[in-house]
């Protein structure tokens, strides 16, 4: 599952190229972008139910799940509420961890809500990117507005943030999963990523964490899903039980 900016086909194209025919990747876009505007009743539960339906349509009782950014939040919520469906869980910089936040997590969340409030369009996207980078890291150039679906992103991101804060979740649910997990993050993204890594390392019984050098949340997908990253995911899938490799 992708994040709130690039669709799944764009986000995971480099990963598909890296793994070739060694794994079958099924790409699931976020429901928040299913229409021209976010659904008026949009919620995390809507995303979870849609992921259930998607897996059912592929006749997958259990599967390997991967999520980036906002998709990482959904993946964590799915792992906590439906652990019996997962063979493994792979994350890259989940937007948030569901449940009660640590003070450092709360500080960034409060900053995002405060500084993004009232912004729209290009101003919203510029602030959204800048606030998630380490001080001194230059933001990437804004994507061209003519990219299909880009005009949906500010409203979609705002709807996702509201739904994430409203979602009630007990982080201890993640302790019950019997699947292996992997978390990757970049060393140029905001320092809260290392905080989230520490939190997740304490919740999963079997988790590997890797920090990637020279990477931040908004670099092109090919700089995230490198051969090194793909190998880490293939190692994760090999550690998990199951007759086939299937990635959401």
The pLDDT, as a whole number, for residue 192 is 93
CATH number at residue 93: 3.40.50.1820
Q: Which residue has the tokens 């990523």?
A: 193
pTM value is 0.92
The pLDDT, as a whole number, for residue 141 is 84
Task: Please answer whether residues 223 and 230 qualify as being in contact, where contact means their C-beta atoms are separated by less than 8 angstroms.
Answer: no
User: Residue 154 sits in which domain range?
Assistant: 8-247
Task: Please answer whether residues 4 and 95 qualify as being in contact, where contact means their C-beta atoms are separated by less than 8 angstroms.
Answer: yes
What's the number of domains the chain is made of? 1
Considering the domain boundaries, does residue 2 fall inside one?
no
Considering the domain boundaries, does residue 177 fall inside one?
yes
| Cα–Cα distance measured from residue 153 to residue 68, given in angstroms and rounded to the nearest whole number | 16
Using alpha carbons only, give the angle 240, 241, 244 rounded to the nearest 5 degrees: 100
Mean pLDDT by 10 residues, the chain (248 residues): 93 97 96 94 98 98 97 98 97 97 90 87 87 92 63 89 96 94 97 95 96 96 97 95 46
| Cα–Cα distance measured from residue 2 to residue 11, given in angstroms and rounded to the nearest whole number | 6
């Amino acid at each position: 599952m992708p994040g709130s900016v690039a669709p799944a086909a764009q986000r995971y194209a480099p990963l598909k190229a890296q793994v070739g025919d060694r794994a079958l990747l099924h790409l699931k876009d976020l429901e928040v972008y299913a229409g021209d505007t976010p659904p008026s009743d949009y919620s995390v539960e809507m995303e979870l139910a849609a992921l259930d339906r998607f897996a059912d349509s592929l006749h997958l009782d259990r599967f390997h799940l991967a999520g980036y950014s906002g998709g990482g939040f959904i993946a964590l919520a799915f792992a906590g509420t439906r652990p019996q469906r997962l063979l493994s869980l792979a994350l890259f910089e989940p937007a948030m961890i569901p449940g009660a936040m640590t003070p450092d997590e709360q500080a960034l969340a409060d900053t995002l809500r405060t500084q993004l409030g009232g912004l729209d369009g290009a101003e919203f996207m510029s602030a959204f990117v800048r606030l998630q980078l380490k001080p001194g890291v230059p933001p990437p150039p804004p994507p061209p507005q003519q990219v299909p679906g880009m005009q949906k992103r500010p409203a979609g991101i705002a709807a996702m943030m509201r739904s994430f804060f409203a979602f009630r979740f007990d982080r201890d649910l993640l302790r019950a999963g019997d699947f292996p997990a992997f978390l990757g993050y970049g060393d140029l993204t905001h320092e809260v990523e290392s905080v989230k890594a520490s939190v997740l390392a304490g919740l999963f019984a079997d988790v590997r964490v890797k920090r990637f050098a020279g990477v931040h949340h908004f670099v092109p997908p090919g700089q995230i899903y490198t051969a090194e990253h793909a190998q880490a995911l293939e190692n994760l899938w090999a550690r998990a039980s199951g007759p086939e490799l299937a990635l959401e």
